[in-house]
Structure 1
Amino acid sequence: MPWALSVPLLPEESLSSWLVRAALRQGCDPLSLTGATWPTWRIWTRDIDREIPIERMHPLVKVSGISCAEFKKAGMRDDCEKVAGYPIPGTRTWPWLLALGSRNRTRHGGQQVCTLCLGEDSTPYLRRQWRFAWHTGCRFHGVQLIDECPVCKAPIEPHRLSAEDQHLAQCSRCHNDFRKAVCTSPSPEAFRFQVMADHVFEQYTVTFRQASITPADWFSMMAFFMTVIRRAGRRPASPMANALLSLGISVTDCRMPVSGLAFELLPVSERCALLAAVECLLSIGLEETFSALVACNVKTSALHDPRKSPPVMLLPLLSRLSHHPHGPHRRRALPAHRPMSERAVRASWARLKRRMKAEPSS
């Protein structure tokens, strides 16, 4: 039987946002609505923004009156495969898409919002573009996105709202209204990277060193540069860190990630720091960047994992660096009571804090 009240998809709305709004519109919580639609499928244990499997589509089309084509367009798969450049399996982190870090119905992160956009909406809803990992600011209001409740610091989890909450612009834990949050300015460098990445994403080909490359090739290069910066951050006294410092990029910045988590799992503040560093490299220019690496005697093995091939477009530049072949790494046996390094302790603490955010305090 169709729902009593129809709920159309709004422009650029994510699938999870629409499902939450549909539930609140019918006067029930999201878990009840999806349980009635799919009695044997626990939809909120997965990232439904990616896509609704075709075999699960028919019951939703029947009750909502929205076509399969519209639901498919609202999913993220086509966009993410354009960025990745290959078909993505459904059981792994998708490149450049924020990961929710799901455990049952709880989330560690992955959702971010612009509070000013929510405040201007007649019906607050979440945009698909906010799930892209390179988005750290709002392109309309010029403010930084938030990825946690400003009051209780809980992850943004609209699927855990109840029928009494009426709209999704609030925290599911403390019910603080996000539209009342104080906005902050985004990192100028990270915001410039976002504008650049959005432009690349909208194109079919991009010009790089007088050659046409695909958007997937461009994003692959950006991921490579982020890896270089993070590897330098693990060894702040290395030649690679010195080369970056000579270019004005500090890998010991307190905002840089220390947890070792994948880029798609990082909070917005840490992603800002990484994207700002990459944007600085791009503004300096690849020729000057690789000249600094050569001057500091950086080896190609320091830039990337030798088991993974670097982007083909960078091979001519990488050939300028000297190569230091080495055999397979052997893990050194540590003494039984050797203390952990400061960096290892900080990384463990950062990961623990992320897990603690997903559970309400007792």
Structure 2
Amino acid sequence: MNIEQDELFSTWLVRAALAQGTDPLVLASHLWPGWRVCTIDLDRGVSEECATRLVQESGIQYDEFYSASFLPIAKAIGQEIRADRAIWYWFLALGSRNRKRHGGLQYCSHCLATDTRPYFRVQWRLAWHTCCAIHKICLRDRCWYCHMPIEPNRLSAQDLMSTCPSCKRDLRDAVMVPASASSLEFQEYADNVVITNSGFYGAHQLKTTEWFFLARYLLMLLRFTARNQTSNVRKCLASLLPSVSCLKPPITGLGFEMLPTSERANFLESVGVLIRTGPEHFRSAVLAHSLTGMSLRQGWQILPQYIHDIVQEIPQLARSRSTNIAVVSAPKSKQTVLYKWARLQRKIRRFP
């Protein structure tokens, strides 16, 4: 069973099992006895010992398995390769609990429908991917019918690769939703940054690692403004990007790599605009709104170089205020309660 172009390693393993008329878990147990494969993210790569066993059984060279993992892209964008980290920046998190998952995989129904043998792509697990560049439609991260996560690892021997294991509907039957031009533009540009090993912040050229670090910083800042609608940071960014006023905080408040596709797309479109604007306009807006270093840092010890240079020019702290204020034990805010409720629903798999 050959690995297709851009095929994801974990789902290739599922496809290989189905082709042999067996469950994915049975094949994994045969390859690696005693190893609970379902509890880890195989797309982060496997140990040399496990890889050797796989090469011997499949006849496929190690380089092909390496290319089907996150590792080439992770190294290109500067992600630290650590198996003990729950989240890798810019890669969708599975949120695994035994065999069940809370997310982490997207799909294009048109791609699956036109594949000779349906398979899942590596790019569908990249957090900056929210649409299909080929068919110009939005990616889905849930079954169109039952709204459960995409979990090929739970398929049975008699299932098709495009089957939802929860409701047995065909993912290829999903309605196609056109992608926005802004989402496509940012996604294609970010892909190009990985391919060419460089990107731009305005007119300034950056290395791939620097560009993705800047994008992650801007994401953080945008999420802060979405939560704090009266902050000076929000007013500052709104002067550069009027659509900031439309940004809503994620329903669950979870990390970016755990958000549903639609919420990620909204933030990434804004990141794209801010990156095109460049550091000169950002600096002017920061000075015009009298922001402090603390408001731009938001707890970050290390900043992107151009942001660091701006922070060095401005006061680091706001004017001190009297701390002689009575402490009142007030109820939690409505937003905090909604966050907790959304996370509980996600935990019991009733919510994206």
TM-score by length of 2: 0.91
Residue in structure 2 matched with residue 73 of structure 1 by the alignment:
67
1:293 is displaced (CA, Å) by 2.4
Partner of 1:257, secondary structure, is coil
Q: What residue ranges of structure 1 are gaps of 5+ in the alignment?
A: 1-6
Residue in structure 1 matched with residue 234 of structure 2 by the alignment:
241
Residue in structure 2 matched with residue 291 of structure 1 by the alignment:
284
Q: 1:333 to 1:345 in 2, by over 3 A?
A: farther
Which letter maps to 2:331?
A: P
**Identity over the aligned pairs, expressed in percent?**
37
Match 2:51 to one of 52, 57, 66: 57
1:223 is displaced (CA, Å) by 0.5
Q: 1:10 to 1:317 in 2, by over 3 A?
A: same
TM-score by length of 1: 0.89
1:247 is displaced (CA, Å) by 2.9
Q: What residue ranges of structure 2 are gaps of 5+ in the alignment?
A: none
Which letter maps to 2:28?
A: T
1:342 is displaced (CA, Å) by 1.4
Is 1:346 paired with 2:335? no
Match 2:293 to one of 279, 294, 300: 300
Q: Deviations over 1:286-320 (max 9, x none)?
A: 32233222212221211223452111233233334
Separation in 2, partners of 1:326, 1:153: 49
Is 1:15 paired with 2:23? no
Separation in 1, partners of 2:16, 2:83: 25
CA RMSD, 1 decimal: 2.4
Is 1:184 paired with 2:177? yes
Partner of 1:213, secondary structure, is strand
Residue in structure 2 matched with residue 311 of structure 1 by the alignment:
304
Is 1:126 paired with 2:120? yes
Which letter maps to 1:22?
A: A
Match 1:276 to one of 251, 269, 282: 269
Residue in structure 1 matched with residue 166 of structure 2 by the alignment:
173
Q: Deviations over 1:10-55 (max 9, x none)?
A: 1110111110100100001111111121111011111111112112
Residue pair 2:76, 2:197 contacting (<8 A) in 1 also:
no
Separation in 2, partners of 1:77, 1:121: 25
Partner of 2:10, secondary structure, is helix
Match 2:348 to one of 337, 349, 356: 356
- Equivalenced residue count is 347
Is 1:140 paired with 2:143? no
Residue in structure 1 matched with residue 37 of structure 2 by the alignment:
43
Separation in 2, partners of 1:188, 1:153: 26
Residue pair 1:114, 1:144 contacting (<8 A) in 2 also:
yes
Residue pair 1:171, 1:177 contacting (<8 A) in 2 also:
yes
Residue in structure 2 matched with residue 4 of structure 1 by the alignment:
none
Match 1:158 to one of 152, 163, 175: 152
Separation in 2, partners of 1:313, 1:246: 19
Deviates more, 1:245-254 or 1:132-141: 245-254
Separation in 2, partners of 1:207, 1:283: 8
Match 1:218 to one of 193, 211, 222: 211
Is 1:106 paired with 2:96? no
Residue pair 1:100, 1:109 contacting (<8 A) in 2 also:
yes
1:72 is displaced (CA, Å) by 1.7
